[in-house]
């Protein structure tokens, strides 16, 4: 079985599966392991929220309007 993530611990605590002290102990152990380098974090690859156009294909006016929309 893999180690629980912080999210897993928080969900278990919110559902009442873990008591407050057990949650805090497990959370502290997890965080200490990450900070000491004993445990590694998995990188989450999220898709882009918007697909950006290729700036080279836009003229100067379009570049300005696209940047304004994104801001």
pLDDT at 4: 87
Closest C-alpha among 35, 37, 41 to residue 3: 41
Per-residue pLDDT tens digits for 7-43: 999 999 999 999 999 999 999 999 999 899 888 888 8
pLDDT at 68: 64
Per-residue pLDDT tens digits for 39-59: 888 888 888 888 777 767 666
pLDDT at 44: 80
pLDDT at 46: 85
Residue whose entry in the numeric block shows the structure tokens 């000491």: 36
pLDDT at 47: 86
């Amino acid at each position: 079985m893999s180690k629980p993530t912080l999210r897993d611990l928080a969900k278990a605590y919110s559902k009442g599966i873990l008591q407050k002290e057990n949650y805090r102990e497990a959370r502290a152990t997890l965080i200490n392991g990450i900070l000491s380098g004993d445990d590694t974090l998995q990188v989450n690859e999220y898709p882009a929220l918007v697909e950006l156009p290729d700036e080279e294909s836009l003229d100067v006016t379009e570049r300005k309007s696209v940047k304004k929309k994104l801001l």
